[in-house]
Amino acid sequence: MASSFLLFLLIFLSVSSFILLSESQKTSKPNRFILQLQKDPKTKLYVTNIYKRTPSQKVPFVVDLNGRLLWVTCEKSYRSSTYHAPRCRSTQCSRADSHYCHICSTRDGPGCHNNTCGVMSMNPVTGLTAMSELAQDVLSIQSTQGSNPGPMVRVPQFLFTCAPSLLLQRGLPSTVQGVAGLGHSPISLPTQLASHFGSAGFAPTFALCLAPKGVMFFGDSPYYMLPNVDITRPLSYTPLIISPQGEYYMEVKSIKINNKDVPIDTALLSINKQGVGGTKLSTINPYTILHHSIFKAVTQFFSKELSAIPQVKPVAPFGVCFNSKSFQNSRVGPGAPNIDLVLHDKHVMWRIYGANSIVEAAPGVSCLAFVDGGMKNNGASIIIGAYQMENNLVQFDMARSRLGFSSSLLFYKTSCNNFNFTAIP
């Protein structure tokens, strides 16, 4: 009799625990999110659609890895019942680091109210800036368990700026209405998601997986690509460096081609007291930009290692180009010498294969996908461009101050095009 009672008790406790666990899973807040990315063929910038306003509306934005905030043009067709412009010197203004009171007398509506906060918005391609109105409105983003889209989740008071339409006039795709900044700043997209969902276990981490139809993850791993590949498993890590402007840098100690050291001025690889030098990552620059002396050394060394391939007349903006038909193809692109960025430790290297070092710039013409940045000494010596990050998972882990990178996912028989955007029923 006692054994029957114990068996019944064990069954009851097991069933109760399962029910409680199921209910907690249903009611728990999501702690990972995704945005789909599309590469604009003309500008080579990455565009994502973000749902904003009430009623919810899909709005296209350019993704700027180092942007300080999310801005959108509001002058003509902004309609929302939940729009709010915080008053000058309010808590929201302090959070946005606003030191200006916005004055607008031409009209009364989103982007144009008196005694609200003024914040500078910038076109990251042209560098053009304009004073904009700080605003709050609903933002909705799709949750995920890492392998499929889940339900949409609302951020009710997301801070952004209403910018004048003149910021859209040059350099950006004609379809977009603004720029989504991912930089390390108080009101960037990742920072606000971390602030809003932090109590739900959301990790202050985001990751880029760039491709013509790529994906961006917010929150910690794992992340999966078809066919059921956890693309975080091959990640290596290096310290993540944040500039005073909230831009993302990493430490490159040297460069190797075909496992041989490239003779470069290593002083250019360190950030000096004026904030000049070092290696920055960017989604705005289509290709990696190298200080002239580094560019010269890399292109000469690469050409020497690829002397069996005939060179042809360069196609702008590249400096060295080859006959495409002379390359043999591999799983990781054209058969070109490997380029290694040697990081904080000589055993930690970001390897760039042919798929990310060679680009077909014209029919039959393949070029080394690096650009001469000139002799100017007023910024990063190396800017890692979007092409070099394509089909690489790049993870920005703020909690651990580290940068994760996978090198080419093509090695693992998947790519950044392979996220399953079919929603779970």
Note whether 79 and 43 are same-domain residues. Answer: yes
- Phi and psi at 192, nearest 5°, equal -70, -35
pLDDT recorded at residue 275:
82
SS3 readout for 296-334: HHHHHHHHHHCCCCCEECCCCCECCEEEHHHCCEECCEE
Residue 300 sits in a domain whose CATH number is: 2.40.70.10
pLDDT interval class at 378 (50, 70, 90): confident
> Residue 5 falls within a domain, yes or no?
no
Band (pLDDT 50/70/90 cuts) for residue 197 is: very high
C-alpha dist (Å) from residue 386 to 11, 63, 122, 312, 364:
55, 11, 20, 25, 23
Domain membership of residue 364 (yes or no) is: yes
Do 272 and 381 share a domain, yes or no?
yes
Poorest-pLDDT segment among 97-111, 214-228, 411-425 = 97-111
pLDDT at position 18 over 60: no
Same domain, 326 and 284: yes
The per-residue pLDDT for range 253-281, each reduced to its tens digit, is 999 999 999 999 999 999 888 889 999 99
Residue 83 counted as domain residue: yes
| Domain co-membership, 151 together with 239 | no
Mean pLDDT of the chain: 91
Given this model, what pLDDT does residue 106 score? 67
d(CA 293, CA 20): 63
Asked whether residue 109 falls in the same domain as residue 241, the answer is no
Q: Identify the H or E element spanning 266.
A: none
Average pLDDT of span 367-376: 95
pLDDT of residue 107: 67
Q: Which of 18-27, 74-83, 151-160, 313-322 has the lowest mean pLDDT?
A: 18-27
Same domain, 287 and 378: yes
Name the CA radius of gyration of the chain, rounded: 24
The reply to whether 19 falls in a domain is no
pLDDT tens across 162-195, in order?
Answer: 999 999 999 999 999 999 999 999 999 999 999 9
pTM of the model: 0.91
Query: Is 327 part of a structural domain of the chain?
Result: yes
Q: Measure the CA–CA gap between 234 and 225, rounded to whole angstroms.
A: 13
Comparing C-alpha atoms, which of 131, 135, 137 is closest to residue 87?
135
Give the C-alpha separation, 158 to 98, whole Å. Answer: 16
For residues 71-84, give the mean pLDDT. Answer: 91
Pair (48, 106) in one structural domain: yes
CA distances, 108 to each of 105, 314, 358 (Å): 7, 53, 52
Residue 409 has pLDDT above 90, yes or no: yes
Using the predicted structure, report yes or no on whether residue 17 has a pLDDT greater than 60: no
Please give the pLDDT value at position 29.
62
Using the predicted structure, report yes or no on whether residue 19 has a pLDDT greater than 90: no
Any bridge partners for residue 1, and if so which?
A: none
Q: Are residues 288 and 361 in the same domain?
A: yes
Q: Are residues 81 and 147 in the same domain?
A: yes
Model confidence over 284-335: pLDDT tens digits?
A: 999 999 999 999 999 999 999 999 999 999 999 999 999 999 999 999 999 9
| Pairing label, strands 279-281, 382-384 | parallel
Same-domain check for residues 240 and 337: yes
Would residue 189 count as lying in a domain? yes
Domain assignment present for residue 46? The answer is yes
- Six-digit token pair at 109? 């509506």
Q: What's the CA gap between 308 and 323, in Å, rounded?
A: 11
Domain that holds residue 273: 225-412
Say whether both 238 and 197 belong to one domain: no
278, 350: one domain: yes
DSSP reduced 3-state for 411: helix
Tally of structural domains, the chain: 2
Mean pLDDT of 33-54: 98
286, two tokens: 């289509």
- pLDDT for the residue numbered 342: 98
pLDDT digits (tens, 9 = 90+) for 341-371: 999 999 999 999 999 999 999 999 999 999 9
Residue at 13 is within a domain: no
